[in-house]
A and B are shown apart, each in its own frame.
Chain A
Amino acid sequence: MGRFGFVGKRLLQVIPMLFGIVLVVFMVLQVTPGDPARQIAGLRASEADLDEVRESLGLNDSVLEQYGRYVGNVLQGDLGFSYKSRKPVASIIGDRIGVTVWLMGVGLLLVVLISVPLGVISALRKDRPIDHIIRGLGLLGMSMPAFWTGVILLLLVANTTGWFPSGGFGETFWEKAHHIFLPALTLAIASSPFIIRGLRAEMISVLESDYISTGRSIGVAGSRLVRRFVLRNAAGPGITLVAIEAGFLLFGAVVIETTFALPGLGQGLVIAARGRDLPSVQGYTLLFALAVVTIYLLSDIITAILDPRVEVGK
C-alpha cells in the first residue's frame, strides 16, 4: 500500500522538523537581550532576589539542561508562565485559540468559495471578457493590504449598514459567525487572488492535456468533463497552493485581529511582543509553526489520496 507508506514516511519526516522548531523557539530566549529574572522580579529587586528567581527558573543550569527541560515541558503541554500575567502560557493560548480557529476556518472557507468557481470559470473562458474581469479583480485584491481592506470594510460596510459589528467576538455560534464574517472576508480578499491565479494556470494546463482530448473524443463534455477529468487533476496542486496560503493567512491573522479587535492568537502575539513577554511569544511562535507544519502535512496527505501517482514520486 504505497500511498499509505507515503503518508507514514511524511509523518516520520515531521518529527525531526518539530524538534528543530522547538530548538529555534528555545534559542529565541537565549539570544534575546535582557535578563528574564530581572523582568520577573522587577527593576528594584536585589541581587539575592534575582539569584533566587534564577535558581527557581533553572537559569543557572547549562543551556543543554535547560533545552532538555524545555523539550520535556513542551511535550507535556507546559509552555511556561507569562512574565506579565503569571498565568500558564498554555491556558492563555487556550483562551485565544478559538477566535483564530474561527477566523482561519471561515476565512479558508470563503477563500475556497471565492477562488474555486472564479478560477474554474477563468480557465474555461480563457482570454474572454469574463476571464479578464476576474484577473483584473484579482490584481486589485492582491494589491490591497489586509489592514487597509479591513478598515475599508469597517467604514463602508460595518459602519454604514450596521449589519456587522465592527469588532469583538461573541458567545453563541451565530454571534461568533456574525462577528467573524468581515475579518474572514478581509482575509479571503487578500488571499483569493493568489489561489485563483494558481488554479486557473493549473486548470489551463490540464485542459490542454491529451487525456482531455481522449475524454472529449468519447463524448464526455461540459460539467461531467470538468468533474471527472479536470478537477481531480487540478485539485492536487490547488490544495498545495491553499496550504501555502494558509501559512500566510496565519500571519495575516495578526494584522486582521488587531484591526477588528478580535481577542485571538494574533492579537495575543502582538500584546506579548510589545510587553517583551518572552514565554508567551515562544508559545505563540511554537503554535504557529506547529500549525503550518500540520497544514502542509494535511495537504500532502490529501494530495496523496487524490493523486494515485504520488507513490511513484515518493
Chain B
Amino acid sequence: MSGNLLEVTDLRVTFDVHGRRVTPVDGVSLTLERGEALGIAGESGSGKSLSLKSIIGLLPPNATVGGDLRFALDQESPIPYAPADVHGHGISIIFQEPMTALNPTMRVGDLIAEGPKLHKGMGKKEAEERAIELMRLVGIPTPERRARMWPHQLSGGLRQRVMIATALSVEPQLLLCDEPTTALDVSIQDQILGLLQELRTRLNMAIIFVSHDLAVLGEICDRLAIMYAGRIVETGPVDEVFADPQHPYTEALMTSVPSFGATTDMLIGIEGRPPDPRDFPPGCRFAPRCDYAQEDCTAADHHLASVAPGRTTACIHPELIEGLGQ
C-alpha cells in the first residue's frame, strides 16, 4: 500500500494575545507518503514546532487551528480527522526534553504499558511484557530491571529511548519528532538518530522530524521543508536542497552551519533577527534580511512554485541565487 499518509492544507495556528490575533503558523501545506521521512528546518520561532503539535492536537487551549488535516490510518487515502482522534491511533510524538516529557511519578514500564492497555485491550501482565519488549526494541539494556525504575533514575539518552518506546507503544504509522536530539550529548544524539532510522525501516513508519540542525535532518530525512516566519519557503529532496538551494533563506541557513560553509572557514550568520509573529513584514517575509531582495519582493504573494520535479520555492527570483561554492 503506498500513497499519501498525511495531507495538511493551509494550516494556520492563531493565538489570541490580549485581544490581538497572532498567527505564528500561517498557511502551511505539506504531504507525506507512507514510510517517508520529512524534515522541517527553521529558526526558533519559525512555527515548525507549532505546526507539528497541531498535527497531533497538542496546542495550548488558547490556540485556534485552521486549515485541513487529513490522515490515512486504516483507509486507502487520507480522510479528515480531529486532532484528538489520532491520540493513541496512528500518530505519536516525541519531544525535545526527555527530562520533562516523562511522568515523574510513574515507573517507566508503567508509562510504556499505558498504550497497550488502552488500545490493544491488553491486561496488566500482558501490557507489562509488551512494555519490556518495546524497551528491548529501542535498545534499553536490562529492560526487566529498568521497567521498574523512575524516570529520574535514568540518563538523558535512556529517557529519550523510553519516550520513543512510549510513542511506539501505540503502533503509530507516523512518528512526529520535535527536536528529539537537541537536548542530548552529541554521541547520544547519533545513537538516537541511528535508532530512529532503524525503527523507521523496520516498522515502515513515516517520520516528520523538526529541527534547526540541518546536519541531523540530512542524516535522517528523505525530503526537506524549510520554514521561515510561519510559512514553508522551500521543499525538495534533502540532497538536492543541500546541493542547490532555491531560496535565499535556505542558502543563508546552510552558510551559517560550519560543515556547509564550503568556500571559507568563516561562519556567516544571517543578518537581522527572525521577524516577530505579531508584526510580519509584507510580501516575502525574508525580504528585509535577504541579500538578493528586489523591489517587487515586498509585494510578492506567498506561493510555492515548482522549480524542478519534486522541488518548490517561494522565492520569486530564484535565478539570482548564486549557489554555494561559487
Contacts and interface: CB of A to CB of B under 8 A. Distances in A.
Interface residues of B, number: 32
B100 A217 contact: no
Nearest to B62: A127
Given A309-B150, A309-B152, A219 B118 contact: yes
B170 A219 contact: yes
B105 A218 contact: no
Given A210-B95, A213-B95, A308-B152, A218 B104 contact: no
Contacts of A233: 103-105
A27 B169 CA distance: 64
Contact of B92 (A217, A221, A306): A217
Please classify how large the interface on chain A is, using the bins under 10, 10 to 19, 20 to 34, 35 or more: 20 to 34
A237 to B, nearest CB: 12
Interface in A226-258: 228-229, 232-233
Interface string B20-64: 000000000000000000000000000000000000101011000
Nearest to B110: A228
Interface string A194-215: 0000000000000011110111
B118 A210 contact: no
A135 B167 CA distance: 38
Contacts, number: 80
B163 A214 contact: yes
Contacts of A215: 103, 114
Given A219-B118, A220-B118, A214 B106 contact: no
B203 to A, nearest CB: 16
A218 B150 contact: no
B179 interface: no
Given A210-B95, A210-B97, A219 B104 contact: no
Contacts of B89: 219
B114 A220 contact: yes
- Residue of A215, A221, A232, A306 most packed against chain B (CB within 10 A): A215
A307 B84 CA distance: 30
Contacts of B169: 218
Contacts of B92: 217-218
B232 interface: no
Given A216-B58, A218-B87, A211 B101 contact: yes
B87 A214 contact: no
Contacts of A213: 58, 93, 95, 101
A216 B166 CA distance: 12
Interface string B84-120: 1001110111010100111111100001001100110
Nearest to B56: A217
Contacts of A209: 100
Interface of A: 126, 208-211, 213-221, 224, 228-229, 232-233, 306-309, 312
The 8 closest A-B pairs by CB, nearest first: A219-B88, A308-B150, A210-B100, A211-B103, A232-B105, A210-B101, A219-B87, A218-B115
13 contacts: A208-B60, A210-B97, A213-B93, A213-B101, A214-B93, A214-B101, A218-B87, A218-B115, A219-B115, A224-B118, A228-B103, A309-B150, A312-B152
Given A210-B100, A215-B103, 9 more contacts: A208-B60, A210-B97, A211-B102, A214-B95, A219-B88, A219-B115, A219-B118, A233-B104, A308-B150
